[in-house]
Amino acid sequence: MTTPIVVGNWKMNTTADQARQLAEQICSQVTERALDTRTTVVLCPPFVNLSAVGEVIEDRPIALGAQNCWSEPYGAFTGEISAAMLRAVGCRYVIVGHSERRTIFREDDQLIVRKLERVWEEKLVPILCIGETLAERQLHQTWDVLSRQLALVSAHSSRTRAWICAYEPVWAIGTGIAATAEEIEQAHAYLRSFLDAHGCHHVPLLYGGSVTEENAASIAAIAHVDGVLVGGASLVAERFLRIIQAQANA
Ligand code: PGA
């Protein structure tokens, strides 16, 4: 593993002015506190604010990411955004298969793997999100669900390219109830051995789901946690910075 990765997923929040201001606050503090040498920080604003945030972080040690992209390279797909467009505005990372996309927008594993292919074609780094629902966990199906969500990717000829896997239990996202240290440790141990067995030793494993400045240090200390994907707490600069700090200190 190299440096821990901290991704801020702003979801459908911020206007352009708010996005610029938030990026500015995060950037200046990351540099001032010398956190850039010990972490990789990625900001994922809404599509329409990518350029505004890109201007703020240009030449600074923070990377730009998108929250989604479409599965075809171009064409008649009204309302969609291609991976090439994301590269052209300066993105280096793209979140793919977030549980909100899977649930609200009915994205399935076949669609998600086509999106990964587009992202790889543009030499961007996909951040693939996987995770079980509460019902699946209660039915003891967690490992089956995670293996199924990884099946197409772990058999793909491009799996040796750069990508990141984010374990985000659906029941922990936006609920204020993060998985316990034990649950995270078990899931990450399972996923690490699954990925290693499929030639993906190089793939960092992030945890996501109600990460806060309070639980960040204990999550950072868990084996096989290579970073975090943060939603709500990434919208307040000081909270996000404390999470970055926890990863830097781990
Ligand atoms: P949360 O979101 O930190 O607000 O739970 C995480 C995510 O959706 O990636």
65 backbone dihedrals φ, ψ, rounded to 5°: -135, 160
Q: Which two tokens stand for residue 60?
A: 């600074």
* Total domains present in the chain: 1
Please give the Cα distance from 105 to 112 (Å, whole number): 12
Active site residue 98: yes
93 and 64 Cβ atoms separated by less than 8 Å: yes
- Measured between alpha carbons, how far is 191 from 227 in angstroms, rounded to an integer? 14
- pLDDT-derived band at 224 (thresholds 50, 70, 90) equals very high
What average pLDDT does range 177-197 have in this prediction?
A: 97
Residue 210 is encoded by which pair of tokens?
A: 């109600």
Give residue 219 CA to ligand 1 midpoint distance, Å: 14
Q: Which residues constitute the domain of residue 200?
A: 5-249
Tokens of 230: 């943060």
* CB of 183 closer than 6 angstroms to any ligand 1 atom: no
Q: What is the pLDDT of residue 1?
A: 55
Q: Is the pLDDT assigned to residue 111 strictly greater than 70?
A: yes
Q: Give kind and range of the element (H or E) at residue 241.
A: helix 237-249
Distance separating alpha carbons of residues 186 and 137, to the nearest angstrom? 13
**Ligand 1 pocket member 206 (CB < 6 A):** no
CB 169 near ligand 1, within 6 Å:
no
Residue whose Cα lies nearest atom 9 of ligand 1: it is: 231
Contact 45, 53 (CB under 8 A): yes
Residue 158 near residue 198 (C-beta atoms within 8 A): no
CATH number of the domain that residue 150 is part of:
3.20.20.70
Active site residue 140: no
Average pLDDT over the chain reads 97
DSSP state of 206: E
Cβ(40) to ligand 1 under 6 A?
Answer: no
What share of the chain has pLDDT > 70, as a percent? 100
Please pick, among 100, 107, 132, 168, the residue that the annotation labels catalytic. 168
170 near 99, Cβ under 8 Å? yes
> Is 168 touching ligand 1 by the criterion CB < 6 Å?
yes
Q: Is the pLDDT of residue 2 over 90?
A: no
Q: Which helix (H) or strand (E) holds 238?
A: helix 237-249
Question: For the segment 11-63, what is each residue's pLDDT rounded down to a tens digit?
Answer: 999 999 999 999 999 999 999 999 988 999 999 999 999 999 999 999 899 99
Q: Are the C-beta atoms of residues 175 and 210 closer than 8 Å to each other? A: yes
Atom index in ligand 1 nearest the CA of residue 211 equals: 3
Task: Assess contact for 184 and 172: CB atoms under 8 A.
Answer: no
